[in-house]
Amino acid sequence: MSSHSVRVWDLPTRIFHWALAACVAGAYISVKVGGLWMDWHVRFGLAVLALLIFRLVWGFAGPRYARFGQFVRGPSTVFAYLRGKVPHTLGHNPLGACSVIALLLVLGVQAGSGLFANDDIITTGPLAYLDDTWSARLTALHNLNEWPIIVLVAMHVAAIFWYQFRRRQNLIGPMVTGDTMLRDEEIGALDPAQAHARDNLWLRLAALVLLLAISAGVWWLTTLEPVGDYSFM
């Protein structure tokens, strides 16, 4: 029985994945420590916002397995997958796609509300000055949304371990190397040469330019605050 190595995750998608995980963890830890660590909380929050915008664009302009159109499916497909009636797929499976979209949504709410958040002490979002009433509402949402993030991250990690030890499917390795191994019966009539995701130098340079442009835009938001500090989680 032979197997084939297929490039599934391009380098920009992999960097996004691990950078987002690191920034979310950093934002959570720094806000719990508080004090002077709130400066780092702000930086991590801004980075999360930039990364999420990048992933949104990359979900339409990136290689095939990074595109939302490739892995986002309707409820019927998800239920069919749970019943074992959906064949092996490259990239995110239908259930994993739900997890990805849910995480992007709650993190987007967190980063977006953080722009308007205000702790009434020394830390305010760069857009909190626009409207005190909305700032108070979005601050409450910002604080409340912490728990959905914790729950979804815990479920995401648990799913990774479940696939690893119960289904013998390594999800971490491909997100590190970019490649996954497919057996003959899994790849079927698919030509391995045609299955690879595009991951060349030009694509990586385009992703870098995109991320730098988005980061500049996020930084510009912080210059709108007439008086100093802001927070993100």
Q: Is residue 192 in some structural domain?
A: no
Q: Is residue 83 in some structural domain?
A: no
pLDDT tens-digit profile, the chain (233 residues): 556 788 999 999 999 999 999 999 999 998 888 777 788 888 899 999 999 999 999 999 999 999 999 888 888 888 888 787 776 678 888 888 999 999 999 999 999 999 888 877 777 777 877 778 888 888 899 999 999 999 999 999 999 999 888 878 888 999 999 988 776 555 554 555 557 889 999 999 999 999 999 999 999 988 876 644 444 44
Output Rg (C-alpha) for the chain, integer angstroms.
Answer: 20
Q: Is residue 87 in some structural domain?
A: no
Q: Is residue 209 in some structural domain?
A: yes
Q: How far is residue 120's CA from residue 229's CA, in Å, rounded to a whole number?
A: 11
Residue in this structure with the two tokens 């420590």, named with its chain if needed: 33
Q: What is the structure's pLDDT at 232?
A: 46
Calculate the CA dihedral of residues 85, 154, 110, 175 and round it to 10 degrees: -60
Quickly count helices (H) and strands (E) in the chain: 11, 2
Contacts 24+ apart (CB under 8 A), 80-87: 87/188
* Coil/strand/helix, residue 207: helix
Q: What is the structure's pLDDT at 233?
A: 47
Q: With 0-12 CB in 10 A as exposed, 13-18 as middle and 19+ as buried, what is 122?
A: exposed
Longest Cα separation, the chain: 66
Report the CATH number that the domain containing residue 178 is assigned in CATH: 1.20.950
Q: What is the structure's pLDDT at 190?
A: 55
Q: What is the structure's pLDDT at 41?
A: 85
Minimal CA–CA distance to 128: which of 35, 138, 183, 100? 138
Q: How many CA atoms lie within 13 A of 131 on its CB side?
A: 5
Q: Bridge partners of 180?
A: 6
Q: Is residue 95 in some structural domain?
A: no
Question: Which residues, including other chains, have CB under 8 Å from residue 38's CB and lie 6 or more apart?
Answer: 30, 31, 122, 123, 229, 231
The answer to whether residues 114 and 125 touch, using CB atoms and an 8 Å cutoff, is yes
Q: Is residue 11 in some structural domain?
A: yes
The answer to whether residues 71 and 176 touch, using CB atoms and an 8 Å cutoff, is no
* HEC string for 37-71: HHHHHHHHHHHHHHHHHHHHHHHHHCCHHHCHHHH
Q: How far is residue 34's CA from residue 81's CA, in Å, rounded to a whole number?
A: 43
Q: Is residue 193 in some structural domain?
A: no
Distance of CA 38 to the CA centre of its chain: 22
Segments forming the whole domain that contains residue 28:
3-72+103-187+200-222
Q: Is residue 79 in some structural domain?
A: no
Helix (H) or strand (E) holding 4: strand 3-7
Q: What is the structure's pLDDT at 44?
A: 94
Q: What is the structure's pLDDT at 224?
A: 78
Q: Domain tally for the chain?
A: 1
